[in-house]
Structure 1
Amino acid sequence: MNKRKSLKELNLLDKFLFDEAMDDPENVKTMLDIILSQNTNLKQSPQTEKEQRTSTDNRQIRLDVYAIDEDDVIYEVEAQKENTHNLPKRSRLYQGIIDSKLLPPGVVDFNLLNEVLIVMITPFDLFGYGLYRYTFQMRCEEVPELKLDDGATRIFLNTKGKHPELVSQELIELLKYMEHSTDEVSEQCKSERIQKIHRRVCRIKASKKTEVKYMQAWEEKLLERQKEKRELLRKMNHKMSIEEIADVLDMDLSEVKDIIEEQYDTED
């Protein structure tokens, strides 16, 4: 696992800081207002790290930010730092699971489904056209101007866009600030709304309580990854050499040997 950055070194694209910052409804509202160029009135406080699943047997997902406005439009916003090469289909899964929870059992009027808008913010160009923003809605192939109007929209934002004329300057500033949430970048932003976000982020970074929470979260994640590696190692043992296992799992050779010996001792 990579060396742990300090809380002060985190940017808004880092999951922990993003979740902490988006616990503040004002930050969520400001972010949505800038992204969508509208005035968003949230009905209730947004939820971060909201767990969703269709049943106890199905895969769970954790939504970074889940919010509902006064018109019952649902917003789901993700900060995705790494290109996992599956984001379009991941967004499809998110939309499907959100949709499956919207209608009470027995309700058959699908027109009651809320509008759902999923936003993924990334520091890379997922589609290669150099845009800051890619917006997807269902359209007819045979009649391109014909929209399906199913109430679902997915937006992918790229902090490294190259066509500023297609989006607002404030959105560009927001994306740059999310990638580098520093005093220096904040000072270059003309947007007063982004300056306010920065002041709130500074308070989070200066909080001793949040520092302890961050350290605990990092340690829990480290233990979880170690557990996952041990399980993978157990499955790969006898199928690959120790050297190959160490390379695939990015582990020291001695660590792999110790775990294998420990497993043998347990079996005995």
Structure 2
Amino acid sequence: MNQRKPLKELNLLDKFLFDEAMDDPENVKTMLDIILSQNTNLKHPPQTEKEQRTSTDNRQIRLDVYAIDEDDVIYEAEAQKENTHNLPKRSRLYQGIIDSKLLPPGVIDFNLLNEVLIVLIMPFDLFGYGLYRYTFHMRCEEVPELKLDDGATRIFLNTRGKHPELVSLELIELLKYMEHSTDEVSEVCKSERIQEMHRRICQIKASEKTEVKYMQTWEERILLKQEGGKEMLEKLIKKKLEKNLSVEQIAEMLEIDILKVENIIKEIHNEK
């Protein structure tokens, strides 16, 4: 039996709540400030579910949170609940596609490339060393202390780390709060920034508009699974197309294969 998890019980690692929360620049700033131990001043409001593609022949990606600060540093953050066993290479693809969009045609000075930080937040230890944080830069194999200063950083965060002495207490509190976004966890946090974030998250969970959006998203998936018919699928895809959603967004929202979505869209166009 399909049961919808109440909106009030969602955590920040749940995709729906993460996307809704990161529409708020203050939540993005708080998250980045704590993770990176810095003061992040965003240049523009963050974008959630930002699409990126190098060409129509290549795979499109959808970035959970895309932000740029006043120093033109680009941040991309993802909440990843499941270990898909492809996250290192997935982060490599994200890095490459983001980089490919940064220089306008004709620019020959590669030093103008922005710094890019990709952050993945997970409730599991991807590398098995028991750390809260794994930070990767390019380094020379022959001279390990020689860093390739290419401006690219990839950070993998594990909410269940076991070495608190290697990171700040506030980061540990943030990671615990992202996995369990509750009053109980917030109350024991010493960080005022996390407590303030929790107040904003509570407002999202109490929003009638957000509740309706969440329910609609859930109902569409359940109807599709229960009826499974082509007619129902066509109706749902038509609605998504009317909202100018991409093929990949539709496939992810309806939890079906991209190729199947593309074929149905072709049939819809042929019917006109």
TM-score band (shorter)? 0.7 to 0.9
Q: Percent identity?
A: 89
Range with bigger deviation, 200-209 or 54-63: 54-63
The one-character-per-residue Cα deviations of 1:236-265 (angstroms, maximum 9, x if unpaired) are xxxxxxxxxxxxxxxxxxxxxxxxxxxxxx
Distance 1:229 1:101 in 2: 39
2:177 corresponding residue in structure 1:
177
1:215 corresponding residue in structure 2:
215
Matches within 5 A, 1:226-237: none
Matched, 1:147 2:144: no
Distance 2:164 2:26 in 1: 26
Structure 2 counterpart SS, 1:66: strand
Range with bigger deviation, 101-110 or 34-43: 101-110
Closer, same or farther: CA 3–65 of 1 in aligned 2, 3 Å: same
Gaps spanning 5+ residues in structure 1: where?
Answer: 231-268
Range with bigger deviation, 181-190 or 220-229: 220-229
Deviation at residue 219 of structure 1 after TM alignment: 3.1
Structure 1 counterpart SS, 2:32: helix
Name the TM-score, length of structure 1 as normaliser. 0.82
1:40 corresponding residue in structure 2:
40
The one-character-per-residue Cα deviations of 1:19-67 (angstroms, maximum 9, x if unpaired) are 1011100110010000000111110100001011111222111101000
Structure 1 counterpart SS, 2:76: strand
Matched, 1:114 2:88: no
Deviation at residue 228 of structure 1 after TM alignment: 9.5
For the Cα contact (< 8 Å) 2:2–2:222, is it kept in 1? no
Matches within 5 A, 1:51-62: 51-62=51-62
Name the TM-score, length of structure 2 as normaliser. 0.81
1:105 corresponding residue in structure 2:
105
Structure 2 counterpart SS, 1:51: strand
Distance 1:137 1:8 in 2: 38
Gaps spanning 5+ residues in structure 2: where?
Answer: 231-272
Structure 1 counterpart SS, 2:42: coil
Closer, same or farther: CA 28–224 of 1 in aligned 2, 3 Å: farther
Distance 2:136 2:224 in 1: 35
Deviation at residue 221 of structure 1 after TM alignment: 4.2
